[in-house]
Amino acid sequence: MLHISSLPSKYGIGDLGEEAYDFVDLLVNLGSSIWQILPLGPLGYGNSPYQAFSAFAGDPIYVSPGELVKWGLIDEGDASDLIQFNRRKVEFEEVTKSKNKLFSIAFSNFQKQQNVQLINEYRAFLIEHGWWLNDFTLFTACNNYFDVKSWNLWDKELAMHSASAIEKYSLMLSEEIEFEKFKQFLFMRQWFNLKNYANSKGIKIFGDIPLYVSQNSSDVWSNQDIFLLDEDGEPTLVGGVPPDYFSEVGQLWGNPVFNWNRLSETDYHWWIARLYYNLHLFDIVRIDHFRGLESFWAIPANSETAISGEWLPAKGFELLSILKSRLGHLPIIAEDLGIITNEVQQLRDSFNLPGMKVLQFAFTSDYTNEHLPHNFDGRNVVYTGTHDNNTTLGWWRTILNEEKSLASKFLTHSKENIVQRMIELAWSSTAEIAILPMQDLLELGSEGRMNIPGTATGNWNWRYEKKQLKKHQLEFVKELNLKNNRNNG
């Protein structure tokens, strides 16, 4: 598990260029067959990939300048500003500004050049993706034009998505809109080039679908009827989770929740399109907060914490039934962590979806803990930890002695390399997929943590450098893949 942003790169953030291809080659060499990433949508508040401006668009911040040089759209010198950034932490705002300048140069060159192949690809892209692209790019241009925090504070007619207002602003902001379309073209061309390369090497890309979308997103603006909003476009209820392992006051995400009755009336058109699209982008997808498809924690929009919410029913069974009737097999992983009821388990099992087990949760009670390998079956994906957990080394340094005592009964051999013992426990389990966060392969402490749930800032910026990766670590995983029959052959 390694997000695109965390890859090595000299351009301020991991991207879809040379280092991504090298990582695919590394996975092949290790005998691994799955690369899991986080959502790729345009980053919203707090730079969280789970608060994106669109459920369909990609964030151009991941576009590789090196690939643009190869395509003849920029010169190497055009990207010189990006080389100055931190190679261990992503400086999102500064990198975004610098890359936008780069994209302006690329766009200008694209308009001047007569590269027939690129022009034809661009035209085909506009036709193929217009069904989401037109709303998203208009939304982005208007968001910049009005310079406010949410679409419902725009011009009233435009906020209500009226046809006349859409026509007016589409003409007025046509240049900005075309630029946004071009950036999406660059992202999608680079993404599918990488995905096709990975697939050709036997590597599947494991993507991630957040259950909710951001309030300030093109999806809510252009599909207001499928969300619970008031007459001013403000959410009446917002998403989150009650108090749990991660937070004593729960998590207040602030996303608008779905109007499941209206979704049902539309035959779940928006959701089906979203799932189809993501299964085109990725080979396997994880539905984050899967339990929200059965019932969801609905919190009054004016609440300061998630404590005051209540569980309300969703209609995920109807949604997944429609999808399965069209696709047959569903290459979907259910993120079923947290408070999971029998009803949620029945929803997951009705569609034969693998769930998730996390070894860092396995030692908090006793031998009956559901995350202990002897208590779960093969229809699962096992992790040492996820992007929301501490690293395994950081976890070990902070857990209570009672947890360490139980863990020591399962983590045999030397306690000096607890990280490798945890990886071995995951790999030797019956889970059909075992996922290792890159931070655990590197044996990093808490300094390598990707996200702390419940905190709004300072997350998602971790990156690694190639010099951190040691030969013995690679040999360890390669041997584990062979020994536990998890190699891609």
Per-residue pLDDT of the chain (489 residues), as tens digits, is 999 999 999 999 999 999 999 999 999 999 999 999 999 999 988 999 999 999 999 999 999 999 999 999 999 899 887 878 998 999 999 999 999 999 999 999 999 988 999 999 999 999 999 999 999 999 999 999 999 889 999 999 999 999 999 999 999 999 999 999 999 999 999 999 999 999 999 999 999 999 999 999 999 999 999 999 999 999 999 999 998 776 788 889 999 999 999 999 999 999 999 999 999 999 999 999 999 999 999 999 999 999 999 999 999 999 999 999 999 999 999 999 988 999 999 999 999 999 999 999 999 999 999 999 999 999 999 999 999 999 999 999 999 999 999 998 998 755 569 999 999 999 999 999 999 999 999 999 999 999 998 788 899 999 999 999 999 999 999 999 999 999 754
pLDDT for 390 equals 98
Both tokens assigned to 130? 């217009």
Which residue, 397, 411, 301, 319, is CA-closest to 359? Answer: 411
Strand partners of residue 287: 209, 334
Both tokens assigned to 177? 């809109």
pLDDT for 148 equals 81
Q: Are 237 and 298 in contact (CB under 8 A)?
A: yes
Residue 258 carries which DSSP code? B
Residue 466 carries which DSSP code? G
**Active-site option among 294, 335, 336, 440:** 335
Per the listing, tokens 């699209």 go with 277
Q: What Rg, from alpha-carbon coordinates, does the chain have?
A: 23
Q: Checking DSSP bridges between strand 237-241 and strand 204-209, what pairing results, if any?
A: unpaired
Both tokens assigned to 452? 């702390």
Asked if 432 is an active-site residue, the reply is no
Asked if 147 is an active-site residue, the reply is no
Strand partners of residue 416: none
Which residue, 300, 324, 294, is CA-closest to 312? Answer: 294
**Active-site option among 59, 288, 336, 440:** 288
Tell me the C-alpha distance between 3 and 461, whole Å.
Answer: 10
Q: Which amino acid, one-letter code, is at 300?
A: P
Q: Are 237 and 311 in contact (CB under 8 A)?
A: no
pLDDT for 414 equals 56
Tell me the C-alpha distance between 186 and 184, whole Å.
Answer: 5
**Active-site option among 78, 388, 440, 443:** 388
Run of H or E including 315 = none
Tell me the C-alpha distance between 77 and 460, whole Å.
Answer: 28
Asked if 288 is an active-site residue, the reply is yes
Q: Give, rounded to a whole angstrom, the gap between the first and last alpha carbons of the chain.
A: 20
Q: Are 228 and 236 in contact (CB under 8 A)?
A: yes
Run of H or E including 350 = helix 342-350
Run of H or E including 281 = helix 269-281
